[in-house]
Amino acid sequence: MKGIGNDLVREARKRVGWTQQRLADAAGTTQSSIARLESGRTSPAFDDVLRLLRLMGMDLDLMLVERDDSDWQQAKTSWLPLSPEQRHDQLLAWTRTLDDLRDDYRNSVA
């Protein structure tokens, strides 16, 4: 879990809006130990990562799936034939579309 566990704990804590101190209190440890864990100065065991996630009401869902080459097939047919400039333009168009969708959503809930 080196590296990944640190990131998972930090991301979960931020998602639930907890401070390092609140997580430390719930886990029966110190804020500095949570800070060391999140910064990667310590490497938590898998069981410790699960315990911390569950204290925050989160869980980790792992799946083993068969690997296929669908990503490569898609890249071969849609991206590789394009020039770098065409790829750039396509990404900009997608970004504008996503920005528009985000703005539409924000306006609809406001």
Cα distance between residue 37 and residue 81, in whole Å: 44
For the segment 40-59, what is each residue's pLDDT rounded down to a tens digit? Answer: 999 999 999 999 999 999 99
Model confidence at 79: pLDDT above 90: no
Categorize the per-residue pLDDT at 68 as very low, low, confident or very high, splitting at 50, 70 and 90: confident
What pTM was computed for the model? 0.59
Reduced 3-state DSSP string for the chain: CCCHHHHHHHHHHHHHCCCHHHHHHHHCCCHHHHHHHHHCCCCCCHHHHHHHHHHCCCCCCCCCCCCCCHHHHHHHHHCCCCCHHHHHHHHHHHHHHHHHHHHHHHHHHC
What's 65's DSSP letter? -
Q: What contacts 1, CB < 8 A, 6 or more positions away? A: 43, 44, 45, 46, 49
